[in-house]
């Protein structure tokens, strides 16, 4: 309901990325009004290259709630990954171990599907806004104030505000330091990511440990691939010619099994810095945090988007209980339920990261120990099953 510069809704969502849009989509299906605002334009979100792996439950959420089934037509089911170390690849067979697959389907496509679904269903999504401020979060008239894309002041009055505004969350900053605790871990390395115009080098993802550091070979289409290699956090993209990138990548994946890494023109180079972060609690008054706004994980294992969607699934149910049934405890239950998965995923992403990356200052002992850890994973059904469970996603609680 819009009255001049004021819109009245039940759930005001800061963020119109996959988490924010999935939440308003689920609310729409439950008959709950919601408004999304985002300071990026749709074009900006759609053209930012992001990770590409969806857990089976994330795919089910998209298809079973009628967002879109494009993932089933254009995505690729992967029934395993390769762990590559000491110059040889070892397959982890997800289907054989846990009966699940993951899907290669870029986050930007998930976003496009959700944005199209919101447009199809008449959703109220405001892209390209600025000057966002949150009002009265602990009172009973919370609101989001902002300047809309045409420069006009606007206010969204709601019952609850959801902060789904990503890792640099403005919403998280609204929780007074005395009311929140941040658990954080910095990593002394980053990823250099790039797109390659070439056919795939492998049918599934190859996570590589080498004496020169981590490398990841991922895919996109028959003619476009996505790759990453471990670099310094302050690495200068301009210092990396295509030749230099290929020399580095080739040396990291080389081995006696004769693995062939297919080269091609490189584009979209970027250094991706990361950290582990959890903000507890995930609620402050009538503000609830979801996805990267509440927690970030290192990219190893591609959990960020999947964890955000898992949050939103729990949050949608808790908000329905709170708003439709007046259940006074439902808002607190959200964090209690979500944090169990958040911390398991923190551990999984941290574990994959420390097992596969070279630690600065690390010595021969560290490298030998990592290879022994990798061997314990690939040679043991118990070890491989743990990886397969975490990678494909734990069952929903
Ligand atoms: C991709 C990114 C990841 O972080 C990962 O673990 C696997 C794949 C990707 O962009 O394809």
Q: Return d(Cα 168, Cα 279) in angstroms, integer.
A: 12
**Which CA distances in Å does 14 have to 99, 145, 156?**
37, 10, 10
Closest-CA residue to 11 (of 182, 142, 184): 142
Q: How far is the CA of 50 from the centre of ligand 1 (A)?
A: 8
Q: Does residue 301's CB lie within 6 angstroms of at least one atom of ligand 1?
A: yes
Structure confidence by residue, pLDDT tens digits, 330-374: 999 999 999 999 999 999 999 999 999 999 888 999 999 999 999
Instruction: Out of 110, 215, 216, give the residue to mutate to test ligand 1, the one with the largest number of ligand atoms within 8 Å of its CB.
Output: 216
Structure confidence by residue, pLDDT tens digits, 44-94: 999 988 888 999 999 999 999 999 999 999 999 999 999 999 999 999 999
Residue 396: its pLDDT value, please? 66
- Kind of pairing between the strands at 76-78 and 11-14: unpaired
Residue owning the nearest CA to atom 7 of ligand 1: 302
Residue 395: its pLDDT value, please? 77
Half-sphere exposure at residue 377, Cβ-oriented, CA atoms within 13 angstroms: 24
Which residues lie across from 191 on neighbouring strands?
230, 272
- Residue 66 CA to its chain's centroid (Å): 21
Q: How far is the CA of 51 from the centre of ligand 1 (A)?
A: 5
Q: Return d(Cα 242, Cα 238) in angstroms, integer.
A: 10
Of ligand 1's listed atoms, the one at least distance from the Cα of 299 is 4
Residue 19: its pLDDT value, please? 98
Q: Which of 154, 209, 284, 303 is catalytic?
A: 303
Q: Does residue 205's CB lie within 6 angstroms of at least one atom of ligand 1?
A: yes
Question: Could you write out the DSSP letters of every residue in 166-185?
Answer: -TT-HHHHTS-GGG-EEEEE
225, burial (CB in 10 Å: exposed 0-12, middle 13-18, buried 19+): buried
Q: Which of 25, 78, 209, 357 is catalytic?
A: 78
Half-sphere exposure at residue 296, Cβ-oriented, CA atoms within 13 angstroms: 20
Residue 51: its pLDDT value, please? 86
Q: Are 395 and 388 in contact (CB under 8 A)?
A: no
Half-sphere exposure at residue 392, Cβ-oriented, CA atoms within 13 angstroms: 24
Q: Return d(Cα 174, Cα 192) in angstroms, integer.
A: 32
> Which residue ranges of the chain lie beneath pLDDT 50?
none
Under DSSP, the state recorded for 139 is: S
Structure-block tokens of residue 38: 């985002």
* Sheet arrangement for strand 53-54: 53-54, 102-104, 76-78
Q: Are 217 and 194 in contact (CB under 8 A)?
A: no
Q: Look up 391 and say whether it is catalytic.
A: yes
Q: Return d(Cα 319, Cα 199) in angstroms, integer.
A: 45
Q: Look up 185 and say whether it is catalytic.
A: no
Phi then psi dihedrals of residue 85, to 5 deg: -155, 155
Give the sign of the dihedral formed by CA 298, CA 301, CA 302, CA 306: negative
Q: Does residue 299's CB lie within 6 angstroms of at least one atom of ligand 1?
A: yes
Q: Look up 187 and say whether it is catalytic.
A: no
Q: How far is the CA of 104 from the centre of ligand 1 (A)?
A: 9
Q: Return d(Cα 236, Cα 233) in angstroms, integer.
A: 9
Q: Does residue 303's CB lie within 6 angstroms of at least one atom of ligand 1?
A: no
Closest-CA residue to 207 (of 92, 356, 354): 356
Q: Look up 303 and say whether it is catalytic.
A: yes
Residue 299: its pLDDT value, please? 97
Residue 198: its pLDDT value, please? 98
């Amino acid at each position: 309901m819009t009255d001049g510069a004021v819109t009245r809704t039940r759930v005001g969502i800061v963020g119109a990325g996959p988490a924010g849009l999935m939440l308003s989509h689920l609310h729409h299906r439950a008959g709950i009004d919601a408004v999304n605002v985002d300071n990026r334009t749709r074009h900006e979100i759609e053209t930012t290259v992001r990770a590409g792996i969806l857990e089976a439950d994330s795919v089910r959420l998209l298809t079973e709630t009628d967002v879109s089934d494009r993932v089933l037509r254009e995505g690729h089911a992967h029934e395993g990954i390769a762990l590559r170390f000491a110059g040889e690849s070892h397959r982890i067979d997800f289907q054989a171990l846990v009966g699940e697959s993951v899907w290669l389907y870029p986050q930007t496509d998930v976003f496009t599907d959700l944005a199209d679904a919101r447009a199809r269903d008449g959703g109220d999504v405001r892209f390209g806004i600025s000057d966002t401020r949150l009002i009265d979060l602990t009172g009973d008239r919370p609101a989001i104030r902002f300047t809309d894309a045409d420069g006009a002041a606007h206010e969204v009055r709601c019952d609850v505000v959801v902060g789904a505004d990503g890792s640099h969350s403005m919403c998280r900053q609204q929780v007074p330091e005395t009311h929140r605790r941040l658990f954080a871990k910095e990593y002394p390395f980053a990823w250099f990511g790039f797109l390659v115009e070439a056919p795939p080098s492998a049918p599934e993802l190859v996570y590589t440990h080498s004496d020169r550091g981590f490398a990841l070979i991922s895919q996109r289409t028959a003619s476009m691939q996505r790759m990453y290699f471990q670099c310094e956090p302050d690495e200068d993209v301009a210092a990396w010619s295509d030749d230099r990138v290929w020399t580095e990548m080739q040396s990291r994946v080389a081995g006696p099994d004769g693995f062939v890494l297919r080269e091609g023109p490189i584009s979209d180079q970027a250094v991706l810095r990361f950290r582990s972060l959890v903000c507890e609690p995930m609620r402050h008054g009538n503000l609830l945090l979801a996805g990267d706004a509440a927690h970030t994980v290192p990219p190893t294992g591609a959990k960020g988007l999947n964890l955000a969607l898992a949050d939103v699934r729990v949050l949608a149910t808790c908000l329905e209980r709170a708003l439709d049934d007046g259940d006074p405890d439902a808002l607190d239950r959200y964090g209690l339920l979500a944090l169990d998965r958040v911390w398991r995923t923190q551990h999984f992403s941290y574990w994959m990261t420390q097992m596969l990356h070279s630690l600065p200052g690390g010595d021969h002992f560290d490298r030998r120990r990592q290879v022994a850890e990798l061997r314990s994973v690939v040679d043991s059904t118990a070890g491989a099953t743990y990886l397969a469970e975490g990678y494909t996603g734990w069952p929903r609680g």
